[in-house]
A and B are shown apart, each in its own frame.
Chain A
Amino acid sequence: MGRILLVLRLAARDVRRHPAQAALLVATITAATATLTLGLVLHGVVQTPYKSTRAATAGPDVVARVAPPEPGPNGTPVGGSHASVNPAALNALTRARGVVAHSGPYTLADTTLTAHGTRAAVQAEGRDVAPATLDQPELTAGRWVRDGGVVVERAFADAFDVHTGDAVKVGGRSFRVTGIAVTAAMSPYPSAGSMVDGHVVHPGLVWLTRADARRLAVAQENVSYIMNLRLADPARAPAFVTAHEPSENESLNLNAPPGARPAVPPPPPPMLQSWTQLSDNAGNLVRNERRALLTGSWLLGLLALASVAVLVGGRMAGQLRRVGLLKAVGGTPGLVASVLLAEYVVLALVAAAAGLAIGRLTAPPLADPGAGLVGGAGGIPFGVVDVLVVIAVAVAVAVVATLVPAVRAARVSTVLALGDAARPPRRSARLIALSARLPVPLLLGLRVAGRRPRRSLLCAAGATITVAGIVAVLSAHAQLDAQRTTSALADPRTDRLSDVLALIAVMLVAQAAVNAVFITWATVLDARRTSALARALGATPGQVAAGLSAAQVLPALAGAIAGIPAGLGLFAAVSPDDAPTPSAWWLLATVAGTVVVVTALTAIPARASARQPVAAVLRSELA
């Protein structure tokens, strides 16, 4: 116990001696853990609103639907000619084992809604004027359906910007919007999608009276029927669906041999969806956000690892004398390593707590389930596993970055440590020979970079991660732009995803900036004597400053170039179905921007270092 207290006290004192460094370190790990927290809790954030909506609307356990077959490439339905869609096909389900109640069947007409000069695909569901006991959409504004009136699903109404009282046209007929409502029986707009003319279309949902819906059902191909079922045990809904869903051959009407197929094919079998599937579909609203946040959090975690490694390496060099003192007064190598590890692990735990809190507070607005569901996301508890994952990542970043330097420092001889002997620089003969042919700033820069290859590697890795992240964000934007052209309506998924991508890009750049500052700080300290000596031998302050900057910019440039294919590969891995390439100008601008930002960030400390009095530095190195 006494030993643990001693370790913690020594670690706490060291943190107090370098508050700015400790704060930067906490900020760095916090950025990664907050993003990771967001990614982890995002899915759960949407589950609760679906449950609220299901409760408020007496949501069904299973939704069954009979619909005409999807048209094939030549417009003919797959499996034969147009089958007659008969709601009677649903009736057998009402007698199935486990079903205790049902509502419907209701007519569902594929048609269009026109408002404010914009037209969009909708599914118009014919409902009774009287409330249903199963799946009665919850009105959030206005009144329920009546003849000549239409109720619009809320997410779709938001995207279309229609409100109660607005005049709209459904299937070319004029209607007045009487209400806005939400339902748990269908995925909120724009989750549901279907192929129309080779494009994915996300139809909205409106409710009309049964009579109005029948009038819209002008042709067999655009009519389907829907029925809601309640089971004795809602938890068995997925099993019920599995037991009653048609086989692929049934759904394609291919069971009969080709010669024996009837002229008029049998009616298509009903397709079933459980409430759990609907809940998952609602979660798909934030699927891409979650994917982007999780990917971003890992990138930020890697950047944090690079930052912490540089910071720890730099501080360890500065702490060598303290290590010597600890050992001189009887501290064992184990104690020394424990003190160094404890310091960074405690800071990592603080950062994990901060990241969890920030992620928790940021999740609801970012993961707003949209207007399609009722109920806020505020009551989402953190899963213990999620909390442990975030803490484990934070501690792992600290331990991985600290362990080797801590053990190395603990093993150094006491006399050497007391003498604060600088770690000998690495020599790269090839780099030195190459640099001799270059202008003085590049000569100095390459040699400074070559002295600490690990640090240069971390600098390059930081640039690679940042640029890869930004290229992935650009690719995602290119994908979003391509998707936007197919719909005239606002898409809450793409809008929110854009916000998330922007957030990730900003955090990556901020993290990379912190990383660049850490690396420059460590380089400037490490190259203090070398810089002074170069000036004593005739290098101008400008040349030395440019050299120190070049020592960061050259690896950053190499890393940024490597980040382009890495980013494209990352996006292709995350989104394998469709991986558009951003324009070459954007990619070039990303590399150029990285170089400019790194140059700007390193310029100030490099200039300050290059202007230190030469004699004072050389004297202090002698002391």
Chain B
Amino acid sequence: MDIGRPLVQTHELRMDYGQGTGAVHALDAVELAVAAGETLAIMGPSGCGKSTLLHLLGGLERPSAGEVRLQGERIDQLSERALARLRRDAIGFVFQAFHLMDELTAIENVELPALLAGASPRTARRRATELLDRVGLTDRAAHLPSALSGGQRQRVAVARALSNEPLLVLADEPTGNLDSTATLDVLRLFDDLRATGQTVVIVTHDARIAATADRLISMRDGAFVEETRLTHGSTGRLGALAGLEEG
């Protein structure tokens, strides 16, 4: 894997919820650099601040202090409008709860970001078809989310995150609601992304998921406590590595 210059960087990043004695320090002076093409896993127990970090990286929330840079440009001071454009053009989100639009079919969900970005309906549909094919759901394109399994929904969500060919994919507990089989499907998908050079930041509390990344950061109480560079692929098949199937 050719790891390039940092795509995402944070400096002295702090996030507090509440004020005074009731204030909660979700993030405490976090320094982070994610290289282009890198897959980074952030692990930690519930409430350690990993989801907050992900939201700050994606411009869904504004930090209490510190900086967030994407391709060297500060994004923490951008207007809401500029942040929306940034999310639309450069960032793809995958949520633990999938967050698919209930009334839209799989393909309509996948094409939505392209339509929001101003793509023609035909272009958006073609791109969505390709992505559904890539995640192995061509035959489920016309299904509503309620007719899909958890794993299939998450694969639709991944396809949707890739709709506008983002620089960065942010995944928040992407397998948190899935069973083992579905988890393996999603892991394979992220492995494919890593192989294609897609920059991915995955937040998880599951060590097996984290083991598939290039680098693993452990968090506790809003701060990084440990960083490990992993040698992905040296131990064999992905499923075996993640402990989801026998090697």
Report chain A residues within 8 Å CB of B113. 537-538
Report chain A residues within 8 Å CB of B115. 436, 440, 443
B80 lies within 8 A of chain A by Cβ: yes
A611 lies within 8 A of chain B by Cβ: yes
Bound state CA distance, A616 and B96, in angstroms?
A: 15
Nearest-neighbor residue (CB-CB) of B97 within chain A: A622
Kindly specify which of A193-201, A374-382, A383-391, A421-429 makes contact with the partner chain.
Answer: A421-429
A621 lies within 8 A of chain B by Cβ: yes
User: CB-CB contacts of A599-615 with B at 8 A, as 1s and 0s?
Assistant: 00000000000010111
Report chain B residues within 8 Å CB of A443. 115-116
* Contact between B80 and A541, CB atoms less than 8 A apart: yes
**Those of B173-206 within 8 Å (CB) of chain A:** none
B148 lies within 8 A of chain A by Cβ: no
Report chain A residues within 8 Å CB of B55. 615
* Contact between A615 and B97, CB atoms less than 8 A apart: no
CB A436 to nearest CB in B, in angstroms, measures: 4
**Those of A534-577 within 8 Å (CB) of chain B:** 534-543
A533 lies within 8 A of chain B by Cβ: yes
User: CB-CB contacts of B50-86 with A at 8 A, as 1s and 0s?
Assistant: 0000010010110000000000000000001100110
Nearest-neighbor residue (CB-CB) of A533 within chain B: B99
* Contact between A615 and B116, CB atoms less than 8 A apart: no
Known: A436-B121, A440-B115, A443-B115. A538 touches B101 (CB 8 A): no
Kindly specify which of B3-11, B29-37, B102-110, B212-220 makes contact with the partner chain.
Answer: B102-110
Report chain A residues within 8 Å CB of B164. 538
Task: Out of B89, B101, B103, name the residue touching A533 (CB < 8 Å).
Answer: B101
* Contact between A424 and B146, CB atoms less than 8 A apart: yes
CB B170 to nearest CB in A, in angstroms, measures: 10
Task: Out of A529, A542, A622, name the residue touching B96 (CB < 8 Å).
Answer: A622
User: CB-CB contacts of A416-454 with B at 8 A, as 1s and 0s?
Assistant: 000000001111000010001100100100010011000
Bound state CA distance, A425 and B113, in angstroms?
A: 20
* Contact between B99 and A618, CB atoms less than 8 A apart: yes
CB B5 to nearest CB in A, in angstroms, measures: 25
Q: How large is the interface on A (under 10, 10 to 19, 20 to 34, 35 or more residues)?
A: 20 to 34
Report chain A residues within 8 Å CB of B111. 436
* Contact between B87 and A538, CB atoms less than 8 A apart: yes
Bound state CA distance, A436 and B80, in angstroms?
A: 24
Bound state CA distance, A622 and B55, in angstroms?
A: 15
Nearest-neighbor residue (CB-CB) of A451 within chain B: B103
Report chain B residues within 8 Å CB of A541. 80-81, 84
CB A432 to nearest CB in B, in angstroms, measures: 6
CB B147 to nearest CB in A, in angstroms, measures: 12
Report chain A residues within 8 Å CB of B121. 436-437
Bound state CA distance, A451 and B102, in angstroms?
A: 10
CB A55 to nearest CB in B, in angstroms, measures: 71
Bound state CA distance, A443 and B96, in angstroms?
A: 26
Q: Could you list 30 A-B pairs, sorted by A, with CB under 8 Å?
A: A424-B103, A425-B102, A432-B103, A436-B121, A436-B124, A437-B121, A440-B116, A443-B115, A443-B116, A447-B101, A447-B103, A533-B101, A534-B116, A535-B84, A535-B87, A537-B160, A538-B88, A538-B116, A539-B84, A539-B88, A539-B116, A540-B80, A540-B84, A540-B85, A541-B80, A613-B60, A618-B60, A618-B99, A621-B97, A622-B97
- Residues of A at the B interface (CB closer than 8 Å) are 424-427, 432, 436-437, 440, 443, 447, 450-451, 529-530, 533-543, 611, 613-616, 618, 621-622
Q: Which 3 interchain pairs have the tightest Cβ spacing?
A: A538-B88, A540-B84, A427-B103
